[in-house]
């Protein structure tokens, strides 16, 4: 036979959350916040790497403009590898270039920019052709 509980007992059982429910909600919320923090750190690292890559390309482009404005017989455009020059804060970026004769009064110039980041090294390259002045 089913007996109904007194009204006061029913109210006491139905009010609020239990301690276990609150703890479980706090744990779930904490895991979510930690996940967002990890994403934020990853985004900061990605932005820093992108900025350094942009700087490397900018240094390569600047050197390309310098070499394009040089006379075809300038020593900067002698065939072969050229020693690195350093640019940027703390001379972080090493810019070197190679000049190859392609024939037809044209030189192919490959500019490479190297820099260190953390435990690894990175680089970017720019190629262009320099025609002999007519």
Per-residue pLDDT of the chain (134 residues; tens, 9 = 90+): 566 666 666 565 667 888 999 999 999 999 999 999 999 999 998 898 899 999 999 999 999 999 999 999 999 999 999 999 999 888 899 999 999 999 889 999 999 999 988 778 899 999 999 998 75
What tens digit of pLDDT does each residue of 28-66 get?
Answer: 999 999 999 999 999 998 898 899 999 999 999 999 999
Domain layout of the chain by residue ranges: 7-131
Which CA distances in Å does 10 have to 4, 6, 13, 14, 17?
10, 7, 5, 6, 15
Region class of 16: left (phi > 0), else alpha (psi between -120 and 50), else beta: left
**Quick one: pLDDT at residue 120?**
84
CA separation for the pair 82, 66 (Å, rounded)? 14
CA separation for the pair 5, 94 (Å, rounded)? 83
Contacts of 110 (CB under 8 A, 6+ apart): 97, 98, 100, 125, 126, 127
**Quick one: pLDDT at residue 111?**
97
Tokens 């009064």, residue located: 105
Structure token digits, residue 126: 């720019």
């Amino acid at each position: 036979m089913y007996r109904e509980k007194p009204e006061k007992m029913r109210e006491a059982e139905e009010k609020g959350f239990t301690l276990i429910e609150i703890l479980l909600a706090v744990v779930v919320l904490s895991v979510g916040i930690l996940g967002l923090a990890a994403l934020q750190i990853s985004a900061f690292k990605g932005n820093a790497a992108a900025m350094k890559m942009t700087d490397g390309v900018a240094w390569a482009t600047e050197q390309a403009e310098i070499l394009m404005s040089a006379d075809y017989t300038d020593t900067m455009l002698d065939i072969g590898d050229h020693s690195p020059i350093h640019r940027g804060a703390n001379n972080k970026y090493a810019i070197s270039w190679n000049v190859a004769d392609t024939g037809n009064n044209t030189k192919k110039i490959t500019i490479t920019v190297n820099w260190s980041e953390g435990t690894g090294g990175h680089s970017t390259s720019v190629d262009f052709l320099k025609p002999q002045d007519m």
